[in-house]
Amino acid sequence: MEIDTLDQSVIDALRLDGRVSFSTLAEVLGVSDQTVARRYRRLHDEGVRVAAMPDGVRLGYDMWMIRLQSAPDSAAAIADALARRPDTSWVTLASGGTEITCIVQNPGTADRETLLLQKLPRTPRLVSVRAHCLMHHFAGGPVGGEARSTMLNPEQTERLRYRPALLDTPAVLAAEDGPLLAALNRDGRLGFPQLAAATGWSESTVRRRLEQLRATGAIFFDVELDPATLGFRARFMLWLTVAPAHLAAVGEELARHPEVVFVAATIGETNLMAIVLCRNVADLYTYVTHRIGPLQGVERLESVPALRHVKQVASLV
């Protein structure tokens, strides 16, 4: 798929507000509504999707980064099984096809214990399981990737960014919201008639509940696409050990790097994890030696190549 500057601008805008109207987007970008709609439809047909996710931080969910080591002939099947779970995102095959990494978020400890203590240990051909509890997001997920390079200027960014208006109100995701969230996870830009059909609610009820979920920060919208589409063919996960006194400073610095799309502090054998996109391995070398190397407090770095994203944020279609 060929991506030009207008396509990139549309993608960048959807990262700021996944449900921004075509008319607003057209006005900000200085093109017609029809042009924006046509570009989005083409991007969508090529695999670019907007997807809603529960904000585990706001909702108080258990959030885990899980690393699984398996026999080479079983890694793909294990990754596919994890990708079909509604509580997973960023399911990735890595490290020569023997490692699977995923993010899991659950509303309670029971689901987490079932997965970690019962289901995964019984999985055939699984060699090891390492679980890292996510303590704090610096970039990516619900807090967004603010450091990413963008085609939008500051004024356009300011006009397009969605800001939850009720963050002082507790965020709650009720059981009856399940069909609505499932539909929005498959396609975050579904219209109110389609959402009404998926939930059995009236369009006015859907509109009111969706805005409440967004305004309180219970859900957020992300964009799923193959990074290679934008020219980023070297995708790596970095696992860092950072001295505790420098953990916050290093995390905040990484969040400012345009190469970084996700960074979080974790509990586990390492305490900082980042997902980095570079155009090639040479750029990764430059990034690691020139940007991470000088950071005070970084004691150890493990880099793992991400071979294939099985799932990013959206449900499998």
pLDDT tens per residue, range 98-122: 899 998 887 766 566 666 656 676 7
Residue 140 has pLDDT above 90, yes or no: no
pLDDT in tens, 177-197: 999 999 999 999 999 999 999
pLDDT in tens, 233-264: 888 999 999 999 999 999 999 999 989 989 99
The reply to whether 173-215 shares the fold of 139-150+226-307 is no
Alpha-carbon span 42 to 57, nearest angstrom: 33
Q: What is the full DSSP assignment across the chain? A: ----HHHHHHHHHHHH-TT--HHHHHHHHTS-HHHHHHHHHHHHHTT-EEEEEE-HHHHT-EEEEEEEEE-TTTHHHHHHHHHTSTTEEEEEEEGGGTEEEEEEEESSHHHHHIIIIIIGGGSTTEEEEEEEEEEEEEESGGG--TTS--SS-HHHHHHH----S-TTSPP---GGGHHHHHHHHH-TT--HHHHHHHHT--HHHHHHHHHHHHHTTSEEEEEE--GGGGT--EEEEEEEEE-GGGHHHHHHHHHT-TTEEEEEEEESSSSEEEEEEESSHHHHHHHIIIIITT-TTEEEEEEEEEEEEEESSSPP-
Domain parsing of the chain, residue ranges: 56-135, 139-150+226-307, 173-215
Of the candidates 4, 2, 140, 8, which has an alpha carbon nearest to the alpha carbon of residue 63? 140
- Is domain 173-215 classified as CATH 1.10.10? yes
Residue 128 has pLDDT above 70, yes or no: yes
- The arithmetic mean of pLDDT across residues 217-231, rounded, is 85
pLDDT at 190 (0 to 100): 96
Q: Which of 38-52, 87-101, 196-210 has the highest mean pLDDT?
A: 196-210
pLDDT at 314 (0 to 100): 65
CATH class name, domain 56-135 = alpha beta
- The arithmetic mean of pLDDT across residues 271-282, rounded, is 93
What does pLDDT average to over the chain? 88
pLDDT at 249 (0 to 100): 97
- The arithmetic mean of pLDDT across residues 162-166, rounded, is 92
pLDDT at 245 (0 to 100): 97
Q: Which of 60-64, 142-146, 216-220, 308-312 has the highest mean pLDDT?
A: 216-220
Least confident of 30-34, 116-120, 223-227: 116-120
Please compute, for residue 255, the number of CA atoms within 13 A of its CA located in the half-sphere on the CB side. Answer: 20
pLDDT at 147 (0 to 100): 46
| pLDDT band at residue 148 under the 50/70/90 scheme | low
Residue 222 has pLDDT above 60, yes or no: yes
CATH class name, domain 139-150+226-307 = alpha beta
pLDDT at 9 (0 to 100): 93
pLDDT in tens, 59-75: 988 888 999 998 888 88
| pLDDT band at residue 316 under the 50/70/90 scheme | low
Instruction: Give me the long-range contacts of 186-192 (CB less than 8 A, separation at least 24).
Output: 186/51, 186/314, 186/315, 186/317, 187/49, 187/50, 187/51, 187/314, 188/18, 188/19, 188/49, 188/50, 188/51, 188/52, 188/221, 189/18, 189/19, 189/40, 189/50
